[in-house]
Chains A and B, each alone.
Chain A
Amino acid sequence: MITLKEALKLSSKELEDLKANLASEIAKHPELNAYIDVNNVGSGVPIAVKDNIQVKDWSITSGSKILQGYIAPYNATVIEKMLKAGLSPFGRTNMDEFAMGSTTESSCYGKTLNPHNADCVPGGSSGGSAAAVAAGLAIAALGSDTGGSIRQPASFCGIVGMKPTYGRVSRYGLGAYASSLDQIGPMTQNVEDAAILYDIISGHDEKDSTSADMNDKVSDKLNPARKLRIATLPKYIEHASQDVKDAYSKAIEALKNAGHTIVEKELLDAKYDISAYYITATAEATTNLARYDGIRYGRRAECKDLKELFINSRSEGFGEEVKRRILLGNFVLSSGYYDAYYVKAQKVRHIIKDEYAKVFEDVDLILSPVAPTTANRFGSLSNPIEMYLSDIYTISVNLAGLPALSLPICKSAKGMPVGLQLIAKAYDEQTLFDGALSLEKEINYKG
C-alpha cells in the first residue's frame, strides 16, 4: 500500500482511481469486517475513521445498538482539519462498543479478524482501524485511545499507533467514553506517516475546553539522529510473555546500536494503574453515557411510560460490557462509596503522574511493552477482570495524560506481530517521534 506521504503527492485523478480500487478491495474481503461501511467525503487522500468520530451526515454509532438511527449532524474538529489538509474521511471502522474493550468483539457489528491470523483478535478498541491498515485496506486511519485503544490494536496488527498528549488533539466530535483520558490519534503504516497525520489533526480548538493552546508541528523537523536517554523498566517486563520479553531485548539492543543511552528505571506496580483506571474510566463513562436515553437520538425501545422508555432503551441498546461499566461507575460515584473509590483513585493518579515526572527528570523517553502477550485468540478473554489486566502496560499513560507511540518490533514464534511503545513527557511529541523513527530504522521490521 502506498504511504500517506506518497499519497499526498497524487493528482485528483490518481486519488479517484486509488479510492475506487480501495473500495473494491474492501468489498472483496468482507470476512475481515474491518469496515462497517465505506462512504467518502471530498476528493482528498482516503483515511479510515473509527465509528466514534463524527463525520457529518454519516451514521456514527460507537459500535452500539443504542446509536442505530443516529446521523452525525456536524464534523468533529479532526475531520474539519483533515478536509482542509486534503484528506478524505473514507470508510467507518469497527470498534468495541463505546471503545470499552481490548478485542473489538463487543461491537454490535460482529468481530473483526486479525489480518495476520483469522483465529486471533485485532485488539481493541480501535480494532477495525488497525486491521484495515494492516490488511492493506487503508493508507492510514484514525483511532481513539482511552486506555490503550490505539496502541494495543496497532501492536497486535503490526502497525504504528500513536496517542497524543492529552489536550493536543481536539475531542470535539469524539463520542465521549472517559473525558479525562480520551484522545484521538493516528494509526499508520510507519512512524513518519503517523507524524504527518498527527500534525494535521492536532492544534488548539476553542470548541474543546481541555484543548491545549499549542500549535507546534513535528513532521517537518523529524530527526532520528538525535541521541537520547531512554529508560527501560526491567521489573515491568516480568509480567510479559516470552515473545514480548524477546522483543524488548531486541529493541534495547537496537536503541544502543543507534547510539542512545539506556538507563534502568522503576515505576509504581502496574496493578494500581489498573485500579485507578477502572474507577476513573467507569465513573466518567457512566456520566457520559447518561445521555443515551432513547429520546433525542439513536434507538428507542417499546415502552408504555417515560421510565420504561429510559430503562428499556438502555437495557436493550447497551451491550454487557457497557452495562457492567455503567453499574461500576455508578457504584464508585454513589454516596457512601465516593470517597473510598473515586476520590482515592484521583489521589493515586497524582502518584502515578508524579512517578512519571520523576523518571522524566533523568530521561527523554521510556521503552515499555504495549500488551503482555501477542494477539489473543477469540473468546480467550471472556472474564472481565482478565481483560482489564491485559491493559496493564497502556493505561498509566492515559492516567498521566502523556504521549506514547506503539511500533512493531518483530514477529513471535507463531508469526504474530509484537509491538512496543515509547512514552514521552507531556507535549514532547517531537522527541517521541524522533526516538520512534530512530528505533524503526534500526529494527527494520518487515510486515
Chain B
Amino acid sequence: MQVDDTLLNRLEKLSHLKIADEKRAEVIGQLSEILNFVDNLNELNTDGVDDKFSMSDAATFMREDKPACDTKINDDIIKHAPQSADHFFIVPKIIE
C-alpha cells in the first residue's frame, strides 16, 4: 500500500492534524512502509472467522440502575479548562 499526498491530505482531515510541509515526504514514506508490512496479514486465510472480536465471551455484568453523578468532577474540569466562564467552556466564535 503506497500512501500519496492525496491520501495524506485525507488522513490529516480525518485526524484534525496538519503535517508540516518539510515533514510530509518523511511521513508518507513511514506510513507506506508500515502499511506494506501489515499487508502480511493477507497471507493468512481468515475465511469463516468471526469478524468481531470481544475481550470477553461473558455477558456484561449487571448493576442496579441507580443514577450517580459526582458534580464536583465537572466543576474541577471546568475550573482547569483552557478557557471557561459561568460553568461553560469558551470557544472561538462559530457563527459570523
Contacts and interface: CB of A to CB of B under 8 A. Distances in A.
Interface of A: 69-71, 73-74, 166-167, 180, 204, 206, 209-213, 271-272, 274-276, 278-279, 286, 290, 293-300, 303-306, 308-312, 314-315, 318, 323-324, 326-328, 330-331, 334, 341, 343-351, 383-385, 388, 401
A295 B34 contact: no
A296 B38 contact: no
Contact of A347 (B11, B38, B46): B46
Nearest to A279: B38
Nearest to A282: B34
A275 B30 contact: no
A326 B73 CA distance: 28
Interface in B9-68: 10-12, 14-19, 27, 30-31, 33-35, 37-44, 46, 49-53, 55-56, 58, 60-61, 63
Contacts of A276: 41
Contacts of B53: 180, 346-347, 349-350
Contact of A74 (B42, B56, B63, B73): B73
B17 A323 contact: yes
B69 interface: no
28 contacts: A71-B80, A73-B72, A73-B73, A73-B77, A167-B56, A206-B61, A212-B58, A272-B43, A275-B37, A279-B41, A293-B16, A297-B80, A297-B81, A299-B82, A304-B92, A312-B18, A318-B17, A324-B30, A328-B31, A330-B15, A343-B51, A344-B41, A345-B38, A347-B49, A351-B44, A384-B30, A384-B33, A401-B55
Contacts of B58: 212-213
A348 B46 contact: yes
B5 to A, nearest CB: 13
Contact of B14 (A271, A275, A330): A330
A308 B79 CA distance: 23
A295 B83 CA distance: 8
Contacts of B72: 73
A320 to B, nearest CB: 8
Nearest to B36: A385
Contacts of A213: 58, 61
B64 to A, nearest CB: 9
A210 B54 CA distance: 10
Contact of B56 (A210, A294, A305, A344): A210
Interface of B: 3, 7-8, 10-12, 14-19, 27, 30-31, 33-35, 37-44, 46, 49-53, 55-56, 58, 60-61, 63, 70, 72-73, 76-77, 80-83, 89, 91-94
Which 7 interchain pairs have the tightest Cβ spacing?
Answer: A73-B76, A300-B82, A275-B38, A347-B46, A347-B49, A330-B14, A346-B53
A295 B81 contact: yes
Contact of B41 (A275, A318, A328): A275
Nearest to A399: B53
Contacts of B40: 271-272, 275
Nearest to B34: A385
Contact of B19 (A274, A323, A334): A323
Contacts of A326: 15, 17
A295 B89 contact: yes
A166 B92 contact: no
Nearest to B35: A331
Given A272-B40, A279-B38, A295-B81, A347 B76 contact: no
B69 to A, nearest CB: 12
Nearest to A70: B80
Given A74-B73, A276-B41, 4 more contacts: A271-B40, A272-B44, A275-B38, A318-B17
B53 to A, nearest CB: 4
B82 A295 contact: yes
B41 A348 contact: yes
A423 B46 CA distance: 26
B48 to A, nearest CB: 9
Given A295-B81, A344-B46, A272 B17 contact: no
Contacts of A314: 15-17
A309 B44 CA distance: 43
Nearest to B70: A74
Contacts of B19: 315, 323, 327
Contacts of B34: 278, 328, 384-385, 388
A341 B35 CA distance: 9
Contact of A324 (B27, B38, B43, B61): B27
Contacts of B46: 344, 347-348, 351
Nearest to B74: A73
Given A278-B34, A384-B34, A306 B15 contact: no
